[in-house]
Amino acid sequence: MTEHPPVSIVVSTMGQRETYLKEAIDSFLAQDYPGHITVIVSFDKSEPDESLVQELPRRRVRVIRNTRTPGLPGSRNAGIMAAETDLVAFCDDDDLYLPGKITAQVMAIRSSPRSVAVFCGQQVFRNDSEWTVDQIHPAPEITLSDLLRRRHAVAQSVTLMVRKSMLLEDGVGLFAEDLPGGYGEDYEMLIRLARHSPILSVPEVHVRVRVNPASYFTRRWEMISDALRWMLERYPEFQTVPRGYARIAGQIAFAHAALHDRRGALRWAWTTFRASPLEPRTYIVLPMVARLVEPEFVQRRLAAFGYGF
């Protein structure tokens, strides 16, 4: 690997947030990295905006159409396959890179030739206030057992850089296009990456992640339940980590409570409690089942601290 290998950045969009997308692209082009960077904007379920195409010294912006499975996993995979570089990073169309992101991650992954991926810290922020939360993983790496126990929100596609060659040649594979609704596609990918080797961590904030109350997944509770049950079936390793299994079972219980499926919510809450009585989602779900609190209220309170349900 050369000292400053070329890097591709894949950003998926549905073409509905032009202002945010252009801000994101500007943040990619403003990287302090001396090597070549190609930005690949993958348009999902929409026509590519050719006005975004740019050719600059050591910087390039391409646009492509997602011709794979519609949805975020397919769109990301279309970008990966279009990349002409081995190092590939990702971003959402409403998030931003800070100037040193690519430099820090290339330095980290060059120092560990057997590593397949590296992530960095992030700053979660809201447009409507000065509220921010910095999230980093202080350890030098994150392992499969770490990911089974906890979600580790900072380890996600927006903070991730991977080696394309290891995805395709070392059996890791692309993002799972059969995952229901594409929900949690980055977490599922991280588990497969960590199965291969520990994922490197840059314990510095290099990405700004915008809290979006109008998330694609808001109120899509049935699909979320399907995706989480898919995850438990696909990865039997969760059975060996009671706290991790309880965490996902508790999320399923929450989804059923949000659907006002009392029987399903109580069944999964009991499953959660048996796996780990300390899992707080068990006790959050019960007042939801009793209609004492609405799921939107719980989500807003969690989002205020930078967490999901």
CATH number of the domain within which 44 lies: 3.90.550.10
Domain end marker among 149, 180, 210: 210
How many CA atoms lie less than 13 Å away from 208 in the CB half-sphere?
Answer: 17
The pLDDT score that the predictor gives to residue 291 is 85
293 plus 191 within the same structural domain: no
pLDDT-derived band at 297, boundaries 50, 70, 90: confident
- pLDDT(111) > 80: yes
- What is the percentage of the chain residues whose pLDDT exceeds 90? 82
156 plus 271 within the same structural domain: no
Spatial CA neighbour of 117 closest among 135, 144, 95: 144
- pLDDT(218) > 60: no
What average pLDDT does the segment 285-294 reach?
87
The residue range of the domain holding 276 is: 221-303
- How many domains is the chain built from? 2
Mean pLDDT score across all residues of the chain:
92
Domain end marker among 156, 188, 210: 210
The pLDDT score that the predictor gives to residue 308 is 61
Domain end marker among 171, 186, 210: 210
- pLDDT(153) > 50: yes
pLDDT-derived band at 189, boundaries 50, 70, 90: very high
CA distances to 43, 77, 185 from 72, in Å: 10, 8, 8
- pLDDT(216) > 50: no
Residues 305 and 288: their CA atoms lie apart, in Å, by 20
Name the more confident of 130 and 87.
87
